[in-house]
Amino acid sequence: MNQKLPPLKLLHTSDWHIGRTLYGRKRYQEFAAFLHWLAQTIEEEKVDVLLVAGDIFDTNTPSNRAQELYYQFLCRVAVSCCRHVVVIGGNHDSPSFLNAPKALLKTLNVYVVGSSTQSLEDEVLMLCNEQGAPELIVCAVPYLRDRDIRIAEAGESIEDKERKLIEGIRNHYATVGALAEHKREKLGRDIPIVGMGHLFSAGGQTVDGDGVRELYVGSLAHVTAGIFPVCFDYLALGHLHVPQKVGGFETMRYSGSPLPMGFGEAKQQKSVCLVEFHSTAASVQLINVPVFQRLEHIKGDWEAISNRLFELATTNAQGWLEVIYDGSEIIGNLRERLESAISNTQMEILRIKNNRIIDRVLGQAEEETLDDLNVHDVFKRCLAVYEVPEDQRVELLQAYQEIVLSLYEDDVQAQ
């Protein structure tokens, strides 16, 4: 295994969430701008392989416009210097929708693994260079649904479920890793093995409002870096929207989402991972993604808010704003003041939240809406309203989480 190969360049991205809205605003222009920039980056960096680690779409029933953006991008990349594209399904994606055109896309060297396959050999891809010689092995493991990796049994405890989920994920990766190593050994020379996945790693960083769902009941199966096979020369993960390493390892990474999913990510620098292989040694460089739609989170008393709005106005700033008022003064006309402050500017306020409890009591502030709550918050509020005893709430919440998870994982496109 001493034969040297020319450097191989991979680009790792994930969590596009095409079709996602922000407080009712459609964001197709942002998605189109990002995909155009990504295609240009692939050409400028002379990328050989593109890896997309799940959550291509925001829902399992993507709109026609979302689909158009996706397929136009794949067609553009297919005629570029990029020899291969590997796409895995995420927890937001419909496996059947992603898989439907996979045979057609394969003719363009676009490989799609929307869901766990019956034969795990189908998740181990041998990719070849322009001369037809193998240059890379990709273990394209999609989001593993609960039913893919464990058998539910009556009377299971939370600990039993966690153990089975971790074992299921570990066994799945161990199997595909062994298959990849076997393929490499048969070649008789070193080529890189890259793992892919869409899951939640232990210690992973999230931010408020990023829309990252817990993948398993009770926030279980936050896997550690040690669960992945040592044969992986690089691990490309999706699901977490903050760019980060796994367990501090340079070659185990979340690329993060390329667009901020909410105002909590407004100041976060988004990036994609450019990975260069010399034989099986990988080096990683982050390429910053431009800001296509500015988001601004403003929080404070009226003086702090008005000063910041004035600063933005004097610089002719464009953007969407979220304003959180937490001053001591009771302001009954907060929205009117804010709208007046941004009149004749190119800014738009998408969300106003007044943290003054007294204002809520007096009915003078913005009412709390469902946009401020997730499905688990709503259920907990119901339990409180109906005065369900505390000793019953844990079991009811667990049952509710299982129902919600089954709804998320139900592939409505399969019918």
The pLDDT of residue 219 is 44
The pLDDT of residue 189 is 87
Question: Across all residues in the chain, what is the average pLDDT?
Answer: 85
What is the arithmetic mean of pLDDT over 251-260? Answer: 95
The pLDDT of residue 216 is 46
8-288: CATH topology: Purple Acid Phosphatase; chain A, domain 2 (3.60.21)
pLDDT in tens, 346-380: 899 999 887 764 445 544 444 455 555 666 677 77
Q: Which residue has the higher pLDDT, 152 or 198?
A: 198
The pLDDT of residue 393 is 66
Predicted confidence band of residue 224 (pLDDT cuts 50, 70, 90): confident
Provide the whole-model pTM. Answer: 0.83
Between CA 106 and CA 122 the distance in angstroms is 13
What is the arithmetic mean of pLDDT over 388-400? Answer: 68
What is the arithmetic mean of pLDDT over 92-120? Answer: 93
Q: Which residue has the higher pLDDT, 174 or 368?
A: 174
pLDDT in tens, 87-105: 999 999 999 999 999 999 9
Domain ranges (residues) in the chain: 8-288, 295-372, 375-414
pLDDT at residue 409 greater than cutoff 60? no
The pLDDT of residue 362 is 46
pLDDT at residue 247 greater than cutoff 90? no
Give domain 295-372's CATH number out of 3.30.310.10, 3.30.420.40, 3.90.1150.10, 3.30.160.720: 3.30.160.720
What is the arithmetic mean of pLDDT over 329-338? Answer: 84
Between CA 39 and CA 10 the distance in angstroms is 13
The pLDDT of residue 286 is 97
Q: Which residue has the higher pLDDT, 272 or 211?
A: 272
The pLDDT of residue 165 is 84
pLDDT at residue 22 greater than cutoff 80? yes
CB 266 within 8 A of CB 290: no
The pLDDT of residue 366 is 45
